[in-house]
Amino acid sequence: MTFLHSSTTLAKAHTSRTATPLSYAATVVCIVLVAVDLRPAIVSLGPLLPMIRAQFALTNTQAALLTTIPAVLMGVLAFPAPWLAHRFGRDRMILLALALLMTATGLRALAATTFELLAATVAVGAGIAIAGALIPGFVKQSYPRRAAILMGIYAMSLGLGSTLAAALAHPLALFGNGWRFSTGVFALPCLVAIGAWMMVARSQAEALPTQLADARGSGIPIRNRTAWLLALYSTLNNVLFFGLVSWTAPMFREFGMSDATAGLVLASFTAAFMFGNPAAALLSRTDDRRTTIAFFALLALVGTIIEAVSPGLLPFVFIPMIAFGVGGTFTLTMILPLDNASTARDANNWTGFVMGIGYLAGSFGPLSIGMLRDVTGSFAAPAWLLASVALLTLTLSPFLQPHHHRAARHRSA
């Protein structure tokens, strides 16, 4: 243990001497390159589910596990991620997570059994979970005054990766004669992401003593009412996002669309989601963002009600409307924890708590939709489930005031 500690200390001292400052613009580019890589391994499966189901003889419920498992891991591992970052180093853990994501994505394309398919999916979820939980803390520490817009760019980049995966998955499967080639291709961008974050890690090496000194914080906000409200808000949005990403293409195929057109509907969802991401950051000028929260929730509600009442009505209009609302809400779920944090460690703790519960509980969205589809024989009940979730999101919006505002109001009273 002493040798291990000494080696770590020497390594930190060396990186501190060789640190190379990175400009704000270069840092933004690196964040984008990493974020683009954090969703294709999940989203690309949607257009390919018929092929995967046929090969492995999966039911709708079993197929939903391919999206549910990563979401569960994104929830479970968000809780220990701040501790792992403090114990082993944030940048080291992000690089390890990206390497795991690359390896698991490649191995999943080679899966010969259902067990291997699901095991690789577990590893995919673990890589995405750890990297995604730690980036907001980096943003809070490095650019606290630009955190909202940076998180908007980060979320938009997640949407860009999702859009590319949704649009390219089916054509790549046709080109490569199957789903294996299509899913395996998405392991390659991980190399770019790893290289990008190595540049960030190098530029942050000089700040390591400060980063370690910032171990103080309020801890995981498990007793904070605002934190629980944000966790519920995140949960509802994840039910909508993962449910729609998993089942939009299969639903419209059931309505008679071709595979290619259904894939384009999914791509329209992820594209509108991508544009909704920065819109939320631009529209909310203060850290009391309740009006913005209500606006994006209302868009999602209107779209889901229309699709529930009249399935298949103008999908290239109302599916993007839902996605724009869900995209804006997704950005807000990452900004709101930072609004309640005062240090980088607090940001990691709040983000880990909100994302942990949000992803873990929200992961049951795809599974619930798959089970409802199996039980009822149609997507009518799942469509109304999504509309109900959107309504709850809107109902929650008046209560999402930052907790320090509420505390200040009580003191003045």
Nearest to 156 by CA among 75, 69, 272, 78: 272
Phi-psi region of 219 (alpha: psi -120 to 50; beta: other; left: phi over 0): left
Q: Please provide residue 69's backbone torsions phi and psi, each rounded to the nearest 5 degrees.
A: -60, -50
Close Cβ partners of 341 (under 8 Å, ≥ 6 residues apart)? 140, 347, 349, 350, 351
Q: How far is CA 353 from the centre of its chain?
A: 14
Task: Measure the CA dihedral 349/355/395/406, to 10°.
Answer: 10
- State both tokens at 17: 């001497």
Q: What is the pLDDT along the chain (413 residues), one digit of tens a residue?
A: 443 344 344 344 444 445 567 888 999 999 999 999 999 998 888 788 889 988 998 887 788 788 778 888 888 888 898 889 888 889 999 999 999 999 999 999 999 999 999 999 999 999 999 999 899 888 888 888 888 889 889 988 988 898 888 889 989 999 998 999 999 999 999 999 999 999 999 887 644 444 444 445 557 888 899 999 999 999 999 999 988 988 888 888 888 888 888 888 888 998 898 889 889 988 877 778 999 999 999 999 999 999 899 887 889 999 999 999 999 999 999 899 988 887 777 888 888 899 889 988 887 888 888 889 989 988 889 999 999 999 999 999 999 987 655 544 444 44
Task: Measure the CA dihedral 326/265/151/183, to 10°.
Answer: 130
Let me know if residue 3 belongs to a domain.
no
Let me know if residue 83 belongs to a domain.
yes
Total number of domains constituting the chain: 1
Let me know if residue 264 belongs to a domain.
yes
Let me know if residue 16 belongs to a domain.
no
CA distance 267 to 269: 5
Q: Which amino acid is at 175?
A: F
pTM, rounded to two decimals: 0.77
CA distance 368 to 163: 24
CA distance 33 to 44: 18
Is the alpha carbon torsion for 119, 155, 301, 256 positive or negative?
negative
Let me know if residue 12 belongs to a domain.
no
Q: List C-alpha distances in Å: 99 to 26, 88, 91.
A: 22, 16, 12
Alpha helices in 310-399 (DSSP H): 315-339, 344-362, 364-376, 380-396
Q: What is the largest CA-CA distance in the chain?
A: 68
Confidence (pLDDT) at 404: 57
The CATH number given to whatever domain includes residue 399 is: 1.20.1250.20
Let me know if residue 6 belongs to a domain.
no
Which residue range forms the structural domain that includes residue 60?
A: 22-404
CA distance 60 to 329: 28
Let me know if residue 128 belongs to a domain.
yes
CB 45 within 8 A of CB 67: yes
Query: Residue 227: is it exposed, middle or buried by C-beta count within 10 angstroms (0-12/13-18/19+)?
Result: buried
Residue 115: other Cβ atoms inside 10 A? 9
Token pair 């529209």 is found at 283
Let me know if residue 205 belongs to a domain.
yes
Residues present in the chain in total: 413
CA distance 259 to 278: 30
**Coil vs helix vs strand at 323:** helix
Q: Which amino acid is at 91?
A: D
Confidence (pLDDT) at 205: 60
Is the alpha carbon torsion for 71, 76, 77, 81 positive or negative?
positive
Nearest to 93 by CA among 14, 194, 20: 194
Confidence (pLDDT) at 240: 94
CA distance 71 to 61: 15
